[in-house]
Amino acid sequence: MPSCILETEKMIVYQAQLGDFANLNHLIVCKASLKAVIIDPFYSDYWLNFTADNGWDLTTVWLTHTHWDHSKAVPDFVGKEIWVHQNEYQRGWNGPSNHYWNNPSWSTIDLQFGELKFKAHSTPGHSPGHMAFSGEGIFVTGDCLFLGRCGRIDLFGGNKKHQRKSLFFVREILEKLPDYWLVLPGHLYELSEGYSPSMLSIREVLAENEALRAIDENEAWESLDFLSFDDEMAKRARVQERSSKRS
């Protein structure tokens, strides 16, 4: 069962860690409309059954980006609104999305779901069309920003300069929001202190996040060891990059 992590007069937010990559899925329920939106679904039946059992209509999917572990369940959401930023096509996305954001990089647009009001932020770097969502007391950061660090930039479509600019962009947004709002990342990763929270307040993230603390100084930014890795995913990304340049 997913955990209810926030309930207000207007909405309920559920969180579940699913799959082998510590993915965090987030379900937002609008109490007025009884409709629900799922962000980065890993298992379709898990969320369709859960919402049906509670009398909610899961109508919409929001993707922060289209890496496999964030879009795995999308083909099973037949007849739903599936939203993704159009720049994800730059990394070869060919999924069954049917609605597209097209706001420029590092810009914000209004986003409404039922009676709930959100902002959709373009935050490229981890992927070319990465999005983040804020509103109603939460900030869903996907893989742009984790609680202690940030997403890697060595996968196909990743860009180190864009990621750094996105972190400046996100930090500026965070600093203007109430500091008790919850930051909800795309993965459950252990912090340097040795514990693994699935959410933190904006105040805590601004104080503790290693990537946000490093972006002001070139040397500190270049010394971060979690932006790229010498693993099979990085090797495949290099092959994809060479292939895209030849085509």
Q: Kindly report the average pLDDT of the chain as a whole number.
A: 96
> Is residue 243's pLDDT more than 90?
no
* Predicted TM-score (pTM) above 0.85: yes
> Is residue 247's pLDDT more than 70?
no
What tens digit of pLDDT does each residue of 82-120 get? 999 999 999 999 999 999 999 999 999 999 999 999 999
What is the number of structural domains in the chain? 1
> Is residue 245's pLDDT more than 90?
no
Q: What are the φ and ψ backbone dihedral angles of 182, each rounded to 5 degrees?
A: -95, 135
Find the CATH number of the domain harbouring 61: 3.60.15.10
pLDDT at 234: 82
Task: Give the residue numbers spanning the domain of 121.
Answer: 3-246
What tens digit of pLDDT does each residue of 167-198 get? 999 999 999 999 999 999 999 999 988 889 99
Angle among Cα 18, 22, 25 to the nearest 5 degrees reads 50
pLDDT at 196: 94
What tens digit of pLDDT does each residue of 189-227 get? 999 888 899 999 999 999 999 999 999 999 999 999 999
